[in-house]
């Protein structure tokens, strides 16, 4: 995209085109831009491969028979989050470039960070993985549709007229190959799949750190000045509101507390690698400018807020989780744990001893569970 001529965007809002123009020359550096494109593309492939390795076909079949996870992914990622991004862009009166970056992040599917955080809050891992995988597949059709619907407010601006919906769909389609390969690896080599899942989670953290360093090096001290305060405010509020919307959605479906925590994290955590890849690979750098940084800012604050969520749960929520678990045990007749603790002694009816052909003798025995 760097070969395209510069496009001037200006009067779309109170911030004008300064945010887009800021750092445009640095992003226009061909060698550095190509290096970032390669890094972002590789990170996206590794992330999608890890997601595929986390999916088990048996779990997928169960979810298709009872598609609650699929429905929650649909409502959370492609109804609640795009609408939230659109409303925040209007409330803060963002210019067209910043609005497109925020909308793009809001329309992305769920990210792998939610799977890691769900483990830390004793969530439903099957539900978490299925929601992430489902939203990624649904994004092939629904993400371009949501972008087209919500960008109508800025339709007369250059950045929206050049919104590459075809390139967005192509980028999403390219994620199917690593996801499918990951599912195949999980099916044939489960141990290798477990290792790849861990690698993908670490690559998420390492990639974000590298992108922050490289972007900061390119833009230098001008980076902070070219990103409006309203964009920082949205980067803070958007994941927080997403967590709240997800929890409310799960409560509406009358799900148990551990599933509510899972849906909350799934809704607020976006696939920032995909958002970064689309911004970097499909928009001319002189057009998108410093708004390339928005998904990285979102990643920073979604991680910090999810970490706070985990900390609060570890401090105050563990007893409630144990009660939830006890309630699940009471649904069954009796648990193995109770049997071991009580050491209940009992007398059985005995064993049958075969003596003569015409007689059967009962021999009482004492057994203890």
Distance CA 55, CA 185 (A): 10
What percentage of the chain carries pLDDT values higher than 90?
18
The residue with greater pLDDT, 346 or 108, is: 108
Q: Flag whether pLDDT at 294 surpasses 70.
A: yes
Q: How confident is the model at residue 87 (pLDDT cuts 50, 70, 90)?
A: very high
Summarize pLDDT for 32-49 with one digit per residue, the tens: 556 666 777 777 788 778
Q: Flag whether pLDDT at 85 surpasses 70.
A: yes
User: Three-state DSSP class for 109?
Assistant: coil
Q: Is 25 contained in some domain?
A: no
Token pair 């890094």 in the structure block, residue: 39
Question: What CATH number should be reported for the domain holding residue 217?
Answer: 1.20.1530.20
At 161, list the tokens. 């007229």
Summarize pLDDT for 190-210 with one digit per residue, the tens: 888 888 888 877 777 777 777
Q: Is 364 contained in some domain?
A: no
pLDDT at 164: 67
H or E, element range at 354: strand 351-354
- For the ranges 28-42, 113-127, 160-174, 226-240, which has the lowest average pLDDT? 28-42
Q: Flag whether pLDDT at 363 surpasses 70.
A: no
Q: How confident is the model at residue 11 (pLDDT cuts 50, 70, 90)?
A: very low
Q: CB count, 10 Å around CB of 345? A: 9
Range of the domain at 267: 39-312
| Average pLDDT estimate for 85-89 | 95
Q: Flag whether pLDDT at 334 surpasses 60.
A: no
Q: How far is CA 338 from the centre of its chain?
A: 38
Q: Flag whether pLDDT at 65 surpasses 50.
A: yes
How many domains does the chain divide into?
Answer: 1
Mean pLDDT over each residue of the chain, to the nearest integer: 74
Q: Is 354 contained in some domain?
A: no
Q: Flag whether pLDDT at 106 surpasses 90.
A: yes
Q: Is 334 contained in some domain?
A: no
CA-based nearest residue to 24, from 46, 41, 43, 4: 4
Which residues face 346 on adjacent strands? Answer: 367
- For the ranges 7-16, 53-62, 120-129, which has the lowest average pLDDT? 7-16
Q: Is 338 contained in some domain?
A: no
Q: Is 361 contained in some domain?
A: no
| Average pLDDT estimate for 7-34 | 47
Q: Flag whether pLDDT at 365 surpasses 70.
A: no
pLDDT at 366: 52
0.85 exceeded by pTM = no
pLDDT at 119: 80
Distance CA 292, CA 276 (A): 7
User: Three-state DSSP class for 4?
Assistant: coil
Q: Is 9 contained in some domain?
A: no
Distance CA 298, CA 270 (A): 8
At 366, list the tokens. 């004492």
User: Three-state DSSP class for 177?
Assistant: helix
Q: Is 355 contained in some domain?
A: no
Distance CA 274, CA 109 (A): 9
Token pair 């009067």 in the structure block, residue: 11
């Amino acid at each position: 995209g760097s070969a395209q001529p510069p496009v001037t965007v200006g009067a779309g809002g109170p911030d004008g085109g300064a945010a887009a123009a800021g750092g445009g020359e640095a992003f226009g550096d061909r060698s550095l831009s190509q290096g970032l494109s390669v890094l972002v593309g590789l990170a996206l492939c590794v992330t999608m491969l890890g997601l595929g390795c986390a999916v088990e076909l048996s779990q997928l079949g169960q979810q298709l028979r009872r598609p609650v996870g699929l429905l929650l992914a649909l409502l959370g990622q492609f109804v609640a989050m795009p609408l939230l991004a659109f409303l925040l862009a209007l409330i803060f009166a963002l210019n067209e470039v910043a609005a497109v970056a925020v909308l793009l992040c809001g329309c992305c599917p769920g990210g792998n960070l939610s799977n890691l955080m769900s483990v830390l809050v004793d969530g439903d891992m099957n539900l978490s993985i299925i929601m992430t995988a489902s939203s990624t597949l649904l994004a092939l059709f629904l993400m371009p549709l949501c972008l087209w619907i919500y960008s109508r407010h800025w339709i007369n601006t250059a950045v929206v007229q050049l919104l590459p919906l075809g390139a967005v769909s192509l980028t999403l389609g390219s994620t199917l190959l690593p996801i499918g390969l990951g599912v195949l690896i999980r099916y044939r080599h489960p141990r290798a799949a477990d290792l790849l899942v861990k690698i993908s989670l670490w690559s998420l953290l390492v990639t974000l750190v590298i992108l922050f360093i490289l972007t900061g090096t390119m833009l230098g001290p001008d980076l902070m000045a070219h990103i409006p305060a309203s964009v920082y405010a949205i980067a803070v509020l958007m994941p927080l509101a997403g967590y709240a919307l997800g929890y409310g959605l799960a409560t509406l479906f009358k799900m148990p507390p551990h599933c509510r925590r899972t849906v909350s994290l799934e809704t607020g955590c976006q696939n920032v690698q995909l958002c970064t890849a689309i911004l970097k690979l499909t928009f001319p750098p002189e057009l998108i400018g410093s708004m390339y940084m928005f998904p990285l800012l979102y990643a920073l604050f979604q991680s910090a807020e999810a970490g706070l969520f985990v900390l609060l749960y570890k401090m105050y929520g563990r007893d409630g989780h144990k009660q939830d678990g006890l309630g699940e045990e009471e649904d069954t007749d009796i648990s193995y744990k109770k049997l071991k603790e009580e050491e209940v002694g009992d007398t059985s009816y005995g064993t049958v001893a075969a003596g003569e052909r015409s007689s059967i003798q009962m021999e009482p025995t004492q057994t203890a569970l």
